[in-house]
Amino acid sequence: MRPNLAKLSVDDLEWESLGTHGLRRKLLSRDEETNAVTQYVDIPKAWKGGGVAHFHEFSEEVYVLHGDVSLNGRDYLEDGSYIYRPGGVVHGHDEGARQGCHCIIRTGGKMELNLIHEPAEEDEYVLHHVDDGRPLVLDLKTNDMLWAREHLGSGSIGWKVLSLDRQSGDHTVMLDLPAGWSGPLDLDPALGWEWLVIRGGMELGDGSAFGTLDYSYRPAGSAPTSIAGSETGAEVLLWRGV
């Protein structure tokens, strides 16, 4: 299990090398047993990857904060792009970036590279099925999605569901809190919760304040948590069932 992280700021973390092709990361949290991680990754301008298709045995989830990156040399993930890739999916045929990007990469276990030198298809494809409850999501353009609205507290908050495990209900969502909103929005302590503020700021019921690129990881059984309000408005990347 990952440790409880009440709050940390991406800006306060040091960069470290990621792999051998010039990537850098700031490690947000890690499960020491499974090696599942959440990390803030920097892909430099004009970056080129190894050029060999591969697959992992564990899931990989990516949200592009800004910039661009391609996994096939033709199509580019850009600001707000989201992917969810279960284990066993061949990808990375021709990795590269034009402007580079910053993104969040969240993995379900140790990400060993299983190389496929002669891929059967030119785009991503399922080599063998790994049932982790969520389907393959390729380049979901979240900026083009409409917010699903519900009235809570002093006003309307918005949701965008990015991926969903239909059996367990675990999910990745974007949360929109309008400026001046007050709640509370209670997070069930029986479930695990993880979040990153993408822009703006919010306050919790315990009085703590979260600004842009502030992060938290709270496993199941942690103290009850509620989002109390947002003076400036906020967009939050939120995971349930961590």
Q: What is the DSSP-derived secondary structure letter of residue 142?
A: G
Residues 138 and 152 in one domain: no
Structure confidence by residue, pLDDT tens digits, 38-83: 999 999 999 998 889 999 999 999 999 999 999 888 889 999 999 9
Residue of 95, 87, 139, 142 whose CA lies nearest to 112 = 87
130 vs 153: CA distance, rounded Å: 40
Residues 189 and 231 in one domain: yes
Count of structural domains, the chain: 2
Residues 156 and 136 in one domain: no
Q: What's the average model confidence in pLDDT over 208-220?
A: 97
Q: What integer pLDDT is reported at residue 31 of this predicted model?
A: 95
Q: What is the DSSP string of 86-138?
A: -TTEEB-TB-B-SS-EEEEEEESS----EEESS-SSSS-EESS---SS---EE
Q: What is the DSSP string of 40-61?
A: EEEE-TT-B----EEE-SS-EE
Domain boundary among 143, 159, 181: 143
- Asked if the structure places residue 2 within a domain, the reply is no
Residues 139 and 187 in one domain: no
Residues 19 and 83 in one domain: yes
- Asked if the structure places residue 20 within a domain, the reply is yes
Residues 70 and 23 in one domain: yes
- Asked if the structure places residue 79 within a domain, the reply is yes
Q: Count Cα neighbours of 34 within 13 Å in the Cβ-side half-sphere.
A: 17
Residues 29 and 134 in one domain: yes
Give backbone dihedrals phi and psi of 143, rounded to 5 degrees, phi first: -65, -20
Q: What integer pLDDT is reported at residue 200 of this predicted model?
A: 98
Which helix H or strand E contains 170, and what residues bound it?
A: none
Distances (CA, A) of 223 to 59, 184, 191, 215: 28, 15, 11, 17
Domain ranges, residue 43: 11-143
Q: What integer pLDDT is reported at residue 73 of this predicted model?
A: 85
Domain boundary among 119, 143, 167: 143
Q: Count Cα neighbours of 220 within 13 Å in the Cβ-side half-sphere.
A: 7
- Asked if the structure places residue 3 within a domain, the reply is no
Domain boundary among 111, 143, 175: 143
- Four-residue CA torsion sign, 82, 184, 203, 149: positive
Structure confidence by residue, pLDDT tens digits, 110-148: 999 899 999 999 999 999 999 889 999 999 999 999 999
pTM: predicted TM-score of the whole model, two decimal places: 0.95
CATH code assigned at 121: 2.60.120.10
Q: Which residue has the tokens 């803030």?
A: 40
Residues 211 and 112 in one domain: no
